[in-house]
Structure 1
Amino acid sequence: MPSTHLALHIHVVFSTKDRQPLIHANWRDRLHAYLGGVAKQLEVVPEAIGGVADHVHLLLGIPATVALAPVVRGIKAVSSRWVHEEIGLTKFSWQEGYGAVSVSLPTADG
């Protein structure tokens, strides 16, 4: 095979510090959109983003040339700053760690 094809899909989950329910419904969609924009800037594909008041889920398409840890670190740092500046929630922060598992996308067969 003369070319390389990869399908690396990673489900990432991280929560607010101490799982505090700080992500309010009135700005949650804006946060999810912002997370997707940051992911694109970090050269990954945001395939799906969602979550609730105390955590977020990101399904990311990762190229072979990109390491996951710096991507998640970047997404968390930039989005935390966005919450401080745009939402005005200066005490907001994410937990230190995250969970990540590789997943396969569903096929047309289900």
Structure 2
Amino acid sequence: MPGTFSQLYIQIVFAVKGRQSLIAEKWETELYKYITGIITNKNQKLLAINGMPDHIYIFIGLKPSCCLSDLVREIKKASNEFINNKGFLKSKFEWQKGCGAFSYSHSAVDNVILYIQNQKEHHRRRSFKEEYKEFLIKYRIEHKDEYLFDWIE
């Protein structure tokens, strides 16, 4: 029987609105499980999820029938509602507009998973801003700094 065969690995990165450190350690696992459910219900394969109080990394195996921007929009919308409905914060939670999406070959999958799993250790040595700009340069993505995330200095 003919079929569609693909190997699409995408790392998604997005930040809390205003780059505020709002994702608390005491409920981040619950948030990650919720996002995992969204991805699974959209028939995509979650490979890794982790983050910091002000941003999140999601690594997926993406099916070609999935529109990445629709998936990210759904993850952000549903997780906003989840966080706000759970009352994790006294104020309203929102993700910043936009995201980063970076593709990888199959040979890089294990390294990307390890990288995402070790985010807290990694960010002791490098800021998110440094890391994100490095991604853009490494992947030769043209950009203007004023269109990047709002950085808290």
| TM-score between the two structures when normalised by the length of structure 1 | 0.89
For residues 13-28 of structure 1, what are the structure 2 equivalents within 5 Å?
13-28=13-28
Q: Which structure 1 segments of 5+ residues have no match?
A: none
- Quote the Cα distance in structure 2 between the aligned partners of 1:58 and 1:88: 21
Q: Which structure 2 segments of 5+ residues have no match?
A: 112-153
- Provide, for residues 48-99 of structure 1, a one-character-per-residue CA deviation record: whole Å limited to 9, x for no partner: 1000100000001111111100000000000000000113424100001000
Deviation >4 Å, runs of 4+:
none
Higher gyration radius (CA): 2
Relative to 1, partners in 2 of residues 1:42 and 1:4: Cα closer, same or farther, differing over 3 Å? closer
Does residue 5 (structure 1) correspond to residue 2 (structure 2)? The answer is no
- Quote the Cα distance in structure 2 between the aligned partners of 1:54 and 1:106: 29
Partner SS state of residue 106, structure 1? helix
Could you tell me which amino acid in structure 2 is paired with residue 94 of structure 1? Answer: W
Percent identity, aligned pairs only?
35
- Quote the Cα distance in structure 2 between the aligned partners of 1:70 and 1:26: 29
- Quote the Cα distance in structure 1 between the aligned partners of 2:99 and 2:3: 33
Aligned residues between the structures: 107
Q: Give 1:105 shift.
A: 3.3
Does residue 69 (structure 1) correspond to residue 61 (structure 2)? The answer is no
Does residue 91 (structure 1) correspond to residue 124 (structure 2)? The answer is no
Partner SS state of residue 76, structure 1? helix
Does residue 44 (structure 1) correspond to residue 44 (structure 2)? The answer is yes
- Quote the Cα distance in structure 2 between the aligned partners of 1:105 and 1:86: 37
- Quote the Cα distance in structure 1 between the aligned partners of 2:31 and 2:88: 13
State the match for 2:138 in structure 1. none
Q: Give 1:45 shift.
A: 1.1
Choose between structure 1 and 2: higher helix proportion: 2
State the match for 1:31 in structure 2. 31
Q: Is the 8 A contact 2:15 2:56 kept in 1?
A: yes
Could you tell me which amino acid in structure 1 is paired with residue 50 of structure 2? Answer: G
- Quote the Cα distance in structure 1 between the aligned partners of 2:6 and 2:59: 16
Q: Give 1:106 shift.
A: 3.3
Partner SS state of residue 95, structure 1? coil
State the match for 1:105 in structure 2. 106
